[in-house]
Amino acid sequence: MKVWLLTHSEELKKTTGTGRLVKSELGYECEIIEWSRVLPNKAVTSLSPKNTLLIYPCDTEEQSFSVNEIPAKNIIIIDGTWQQARKIYNKSPYLKKFQHREIKDIKSTYSKRRNQKSTGLCTAEVVIHILTEYKHPAAPSLMNAFLEFNQ
């Protein structure tokens, strides 16, 4: 499985962001891609819709998260504030070709920033959830790194 963090440029400047934490724990299994509206990343746009899943809030109930439906090859997570994530999603037509699912019913414990949505998770929490569901060996180390970072 490869995690693709489609990251807003402002997020890269923040010390409170958890994308770098994910990258440091997953190494080559994670790519941080700076999002560009005018120059979409070719590696992301060339991913196959058959084995790529975008984790992003959904409009319909049937798109809620189910581990059985996640293709194990590529997971795209939009990394930024909720306003930035909405902008990235709405201004990136190529993201619409991917199945997308939402993680629900998990409360965030992230304390470095005030969450803009009561149901929102930070990037590391999303990745921890996915890795845990897949019993990925990096799940415990990412969880420990996140807990330390979040103190």
Q: Looking at residues 114-134, what average pLDDT do you find?
A: 82
Q: How confident is the model at residue 134 (pLDDT cuts 50, 70, 90)?
A: confident
For the chain, the average pLDDT equals 88
Give dist(CA 149, CA 151) in Å, integer.
6
Find where tokens 């998770």 sit: 121
Q: Which domain holds residue 81?
A: 2-149
Q: What percent of the chain shows pLDDT beyond 90?
A: 64
* The predicted structure's pLDDT at residue 110: 84
The answer to whether the CB of 1 falls within 8 A of the CB of 73 is yes
Give dist(CA 93, CA 23) in Å, integer.
26
Beta-bridge mates of residue 99: 53
User: How many degrees, rounded to 5, is the angle at CA 123 between CA 58 and CA 99?
Assistant: 35
Question: Does residue 127 or residue 113 have the better pLDDT?
Answer: 127
The answer to whether the CB of 4 falls within 8 A of the CB of 108 is no
Above 90 in pLDDT, residue 113? no
* The predicted structure's pLDDT at residue 102: 83
pTM of the complete model: 0.90
